[in-house]
Structures are given as structure tokens and as C-alpha cells.
């Protein structure tokens, strides 16, 4: 039977290593590549303007690549469970294909859509390609529980073997019998909206440092992979949070949106490593991709992973509610230039270095302001180009010493930490130009500068730039004591393993099995 297929792009905004798309093309006579602007996921309040720009760029790039294959992207708006059944009927669809997505919202959505597809006699195919491994398999291999340490994850993936090799993008040959029926009205009916058409305020947008799209993702990957020595000697802790240009790859937005296949990234690294002495996980670049896998696995196996309450592995902490402190942190007004410079870079550019994320996350939570990691998670979700449900939640739990990492007595200094890699404070000068004339001696602590120096720098602390919101030396010691109390109250469930707590142990059939019942998985 020759099929009429919808390939539903959600993440996975690429043609290379797209097994669901290739499956859609098998015995296919008509292909409709669809992207749905889902109001739930694209909630304007939750998604910042930089991320919107990245998404629209990625869609344009995808449409351009599809055009080269005589196809087009169809952008539709609405809830997928409302939109897709209409398209099934309108286009007489017989097959729906998409990439497996493990976010709780996506699993529920896909389960509903799968039932609706069945009702319309539409075959459903989905494939794993957003992660290196089928993470359900990792959980199964660990007796139905997500591994809670990196070492454990490494041991499990070792038994599974290397990740699947990526598959090539479809060619004209793959498309020779396939048509995409698109009308003259395509732009009007199914075109990619501009930011303005979406009613977004584009005024805050700066230079597009990380343009969205598969072509740019592959270009960036190529550029980095040419640096054999750099790749082979990469050790994450040796990279700098405050270099003026990024000291790591900044491939994260591309991996998050699926403009770059994580398996392509992995195997390109393998090629670079071949025959060369190289660093190893957890600090190597392969190691970074395994961190991603680690948090994805945890996020699938631990209910309520993005919350403290109801999250059985998360230490329950009596965080304060302090809207003023939270706003000061979010708006780069803490009075600590290193923290404020990072938050400014985040707002302006949508990406900050991993250790910069460490510094501001520790400051907001257990280090200084004693505000819940969930609040920080929300701000990051809005402002990060790479905002990722699983990675954001997992890393915030780590940094707040709530889950995975327990050395709560190790607190980042908002002054000393940045100085280690940027004594002169050039990073602060770049992102907080009003402090740029301070001498290096005072740039991290401008409040200590004598009045004459503040005057000479043209910036009076308390008037032009705020006094420190808290006294780090004092508050961090108190907070360590508060953390100690929270740890003392931890239930054995939290301190030992999630396996003993209710709802965490997942027996096969797993979620993937649940959907498999409804869909035909090839």
C-alpha cells in the first residue's frame, strides 16, 4: 500500500539522523512534513524572545532543506490533539511518524494523539533519536530504576554497547516517488510566522549569535571537530565560565531543538578520538553527552522530576519565599558584579557557560538567597536557548544539593570564583559596562572601593549600582546550617535510593511499552 504520511516535527528539527522521517518515507506517495505551534509549549510567558527567534530560524532552515527535496514544511497552530485529526481527514492520511519524546507532557500528548490516530485508521510510527540510547532500555537494564549515579549509568551503557550510528538525511532518490502537495496559498495557510506575526516584542533582541537551524548546527559541529587537539584534551572543569567568547561548544541549543542529532555529535567525536590520546568521561565531550543521558534517564524514571514536592529523591528544604530577592537575581541587581554579569549575558544572549550556571544557581539557592531551585528553573526555562525540561530540572537539583550532589558545605563565592579565570574582570566589563572603569582590584567588589575611586569610575555604589543584596560571608554560613538541618530530616528514601520510595520503581512494561500497545513501532 502506498501511504499518505505526516511526519510530525516537534524536537528533531533536522533531516540528518531522522529515523522516523525515513520510516515515513517507506512506501510513501504523499508526504506532509508538519510542525505544530502548540500553545502549551510555546506559551509566550514561558519562552523568551531569544528562544522564539531560534525556533523560527530552525523552522525556516528546515523548510529550506525540504524545498531542496521538492517538499515543504506545513506550520499549523493549535493543540495537536485538535489539529491532527482534522489533518488526517483533510489529507486522507494513513501514517503518522514522529520522534519519541520522554517529557511528561509529550508522553501524554503522544498517547492521546496515538489513540486519535487509531480511531482514524492511521498507522503510528515513532523512533528513538533524541537521546543516545533508548532510555527506557537503560531503566530496564537497571531493574526498572533510573541509575542515580553517573558511574552506574556508565556501567549500564557499557553493557548495552555504543549508541546506534546516525543515519544519513533523505536524498532526492529517497524522494523520487514521493510528492508533497502544496498549493499557491501555502505561505498564507501553512507558512512560518514571523516574530511580529506571533505578537512578540522584538525590541530586546540583540545580535543573533547562535542562529537556529540544522545547517548552522552542522557547521558549528564541523568547526569544532576540526580542532582535534582541543577536542581530545577537552576537560570540562578546565573550561572557563567567564571567557569573552564561549570556551565550550555551544551546541546545546542545537541538540535541545534536535537541529543536531546527539548521535551524530557522539560519532563525530569518536572519529576525532580515533588513534589519538584523549580525555574520558565524565570530563570529556563524550562525557558531557553522557551527562545528558544521565539526566534524561532520571527524568523519565523519577515522578515529579521538576518539583521538590512529590519527588522522592529530592531533599525537602524549607526555601524562603522572597519575591524581591528573586527579582534582583533575575534582573541582574544583586550587587555582586560576577552574578549580575552572568544574568545579563543570559538575558541578552540566551546562553551562559556551565560553571556560570553553577555560580548563579548556587547563589540563588543554598549559597545566598535561599530561594527554591524551582524558581531558578523557571527563569532558566524562559531565558536559555537550550532550555530543556530534563536537563534544567536535573542540574538545578544538583546545584542546590537537593539531589545527586550532597556536598552542601561547598559553596561558590560570588567574588573569588570568577577571579580564578578572569582576574581583570573583563567579562564583568563586557556585560556591565557601567562598572568598566573600576580598577581590577575592585571590579568584583565595587562597594569596597573608596568614594574617590567610585567617582573616578563614574559609578557610585548605592546610586548607580546596588549594594550587595546579602553579605555572602555571613549568609552562606547560616545557609549551610539550614541545609544541615534539611539533610538531618531527610527520609531514608531520599538518602538511600529512589528504588525504595513509592512510584519510582518502574517495572517493564515501561512507558515505551505503554505507547507501543497503541502504536506500531518498527
- Known binding-site residue numbers for FAD: 248-252, 288-295, 386-388
Which strand (E) or helix (H) includes residue 97? strand 95-99
Closest approach, Cβ 395 to ligand FAD, in A, equals 3
When the beta carbons of 113 and 401 are compared against ligand FAD, the nearer one is 401
Q: Which stretch binds ligand FAD (CB under 6 A): 35-43, 68-76, 243-251, 472-480?
A: 243-251
Site for ligand FAD in 296-355 (CB under 6 A): 353-354
Q: Which of 87, 361, 512, 515 binds ligand FAD (CB under 6 A)?
A: 361
For 203, counting Cβ atoms within 10 Å of its Cβ (0-12 exposed, 13-18 middle, 19+ buried), the class is: exposed
249 binds ligand FAD (CB under 6 A): yes
Site for ligand FAD in 202-231 (CB under 6 A): none
Q: Which of 98, 257, 266, 380 binds ligand FAD (CB under 6 A)?
A: 380
357 binds ligand FAD (CB under 6 A): yes
Joined together, the cell numbers standing for residue 179 give: 510528492
Of 218, 217, 231, 235, nearest to 272 by C-alpha is 231
258 binds ligand FAD (CB under 6 A): no
Alpha helices, DSSP H only, in 244-353? Answer: 252-256, 262-273, 285-301, 323-330, 337-349
Helix axes 262-273, 214-225, angle to 10 degrees: 20
126 binds ligand FAD (CB under 6 A): no
Of 504, 158, 159, 105, nearest to 298 by C-alpha is 504
Q: Which of 93, 125, 221, 255 binds ligand FAD (CB under 6 A)?
A: 255
Q: Please report, in range form, the residues annotated as the binding site.
A: 248-252, 288-295, 386-388
13 binds ligand FAD (CB under 6 A): no
Q: Which stretch binds ligand FAD (CB under 6 A): 384-392, 418-426, 442-450, 454-462?
A: 384-392
Whether the bond between 217 and the residue before it is cis, its omega within 30 degrees of 0, is no
Applying CB under 6 A, the site for ligand FAD has a residue count of: 30
Beta bridge partners of 76: 36
When the beta carbons of 368 and 445 are compared against ligand FAD, the nearer one is 368
For 135, counting Cβ atoms within 10 Å of its Cβ (0-12 exposed, 13-18 middle, 19+ buried), the class is: buried
Joined together, the cell numbers standing for residue 103 give: 517529557
384 binds ligand FAD (CB under 6 A): yes
Q: Which stretch binds ligand FAD (CB under 6 A): 32-40, 281-289, 330-338, 443-451?
A: 281-289
Going across the sheet that includes 123-127, the strands are: 74-77, 28-37, 3-9, 95-99, 123-127
Q: Which of 31, 47, 73, 250 binds ligand FAD (CB under 6 A)?
A: 250
Q: Count of CB atoms within 10 A of residue 335's CB?
A: 19
Residues binding ligand FAD (CB under 6 A): 236, 246, 248-252, 255-256, 285, 288-289, 291-292, 295, 353-354, 357-358, 361, 380, 384, 386-388, 391-392, 395-396, 399
Amino acid at each position: 500500500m502506498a501511504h499518505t504520511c505526516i511526519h510530525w516535527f516537534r524536537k528533531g528539527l533536522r533531516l540528518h539522523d531522522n529515523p522516523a522521517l525515513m520510516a515515513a518515507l517507506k512506501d510513501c506517495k504523499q508526504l506532509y512534513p508538519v510542525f505544530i505551534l502548540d500553545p502549551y509549549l510555546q506559551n509566550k510567558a514561558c519562552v523568551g524572545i531569544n528562544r522564539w527567534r531560534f525556533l523560527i530560524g530552525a523552522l525556516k532552515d528546515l523548510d529550506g532543506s525540504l524545498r531542496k527535496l521538492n517538499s515543504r514544511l506545513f506550520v499549523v497552530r493549535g493543540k495537536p490533539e485538535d489539529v491532527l485529526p482534522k489533518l488526517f481527514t483533510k489529507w486522507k492520511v494513513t501514517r503518522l511518524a514522529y520522534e519519541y519524546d520522554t517529557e511528561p507532557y509529550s508522553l501524554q500528548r503522544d498517547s492521546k494523539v496515538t489513540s486519535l490516530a487509531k480511531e482514524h485508521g492511521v498507522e503510528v510510527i515513532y523512533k528513538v533519536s533524541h537521546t543516545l540510547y533508548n532510555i527506557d532500555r537503560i531503566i530496564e537494564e537497571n531493574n526498572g530504576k533510573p541509575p542515580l549515579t553517573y558511574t552506574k549509568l556508565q556501567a549500564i551503557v557499557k553493557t548495552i554497547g555504543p549508541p546506534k550510528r546516525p543515519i544519513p538525511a533523505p536524498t532526492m532518490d529517497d524522494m523520487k516517488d514521493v510528492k508533497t502537495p502544496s498549493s499557491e496559498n501555502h505561505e498564507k495557510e501553512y507558512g512560518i510566522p514571523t516574530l511580529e506575526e506571533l505578537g512578540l516584542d522584538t525590541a530586546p533582541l540583540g545580535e543573533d549569535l547562535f542562529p537556529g537551524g540544522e545547517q548552522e548546527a552542522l557547521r558549528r559541529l564541523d568547526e569544532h571537530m576540526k580542532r582535534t587537539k582541543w577536542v581530545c584534551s577537552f576537560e570540562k572543569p578546565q573550561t572557563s565560565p567567564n571567557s569573552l567568547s564561549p570556551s565550550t561548544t555551544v551546541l546545546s541549543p542545537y541538540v535541545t531543538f534536535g537541529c543536531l542529532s546527539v548521535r551524530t555529535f557522539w560519532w563525530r567525536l569518536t572519529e576525532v578520538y580515533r588513534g589519538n590520546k584523549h580525555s574520558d568521561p565524565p570530563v570529556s565531550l563524550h562525557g558531557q553527552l553522557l551527562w545528558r543521558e544521565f539526566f534524561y534517564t532520571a527524568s523519565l524514571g523519577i515522578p515529579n522530576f521538576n518539583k521538590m514536592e512529590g519527588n522522592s529523591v529530592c531533599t525537602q528544604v524549607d526555601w524562603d519565599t522572597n519575591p524581591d530577592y528573586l527579582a534582583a537575581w533575575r534582573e541582574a541587581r544583586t550587587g555582586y558584579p560576577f552574578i549580575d554579569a552572568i544574568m545579563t549575558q543570559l538575558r541578552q544572549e540566551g546562553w551562559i557557560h556551565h560553571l556560570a550556571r553553577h555560580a548563579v544557581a548556587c547563589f540563588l539557592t543554598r549559597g545566598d538567597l535561599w530561594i527554591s531551585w524551582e524558581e531558578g528553573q523557571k527563569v532558566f526555562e524562559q531565558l536559555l536557548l537550550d532550555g530543556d525540561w530534563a536537563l534544567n530540572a536535573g542540574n538545578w537539583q544538583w546545584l542546590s544539593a537537593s539531589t545527586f550532589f550532597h556536598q552542601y558545605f561547598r559553596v561558590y563565592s560570588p567574588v573569588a570564583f570568577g577571579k580564578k579565570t578572569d582576574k581583570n574582570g573583563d567579562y564583568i566589563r563586557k556585560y556591565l559596562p557601567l562598572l568598566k572603569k573600576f580598577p581590577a582590584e575592585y571590579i568584583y567588589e565595587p562597594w569596597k572601593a573608596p568614594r574617590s575611586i567610585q567617582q573616578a569610575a563614574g559609578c557610585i555604589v548605592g546610586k548607580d549600582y546596588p549594594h550587595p543584596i546579602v553579605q555572602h560571608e555571613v549568609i552562606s554560613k547560616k545557609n549551610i546550617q539550614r541545609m544541615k538541618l534539611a539533610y538531618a530530616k531527610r527520609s531514608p528514601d531520599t538518602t538511600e535510593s529512589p528504588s525504595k520510595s513509592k512510584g519510582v520503581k518502574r517495572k517493564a512494561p515501561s512507558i515505551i511499552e505503554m505507547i507501543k500497545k497503541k502504536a506500531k513501532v518498527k
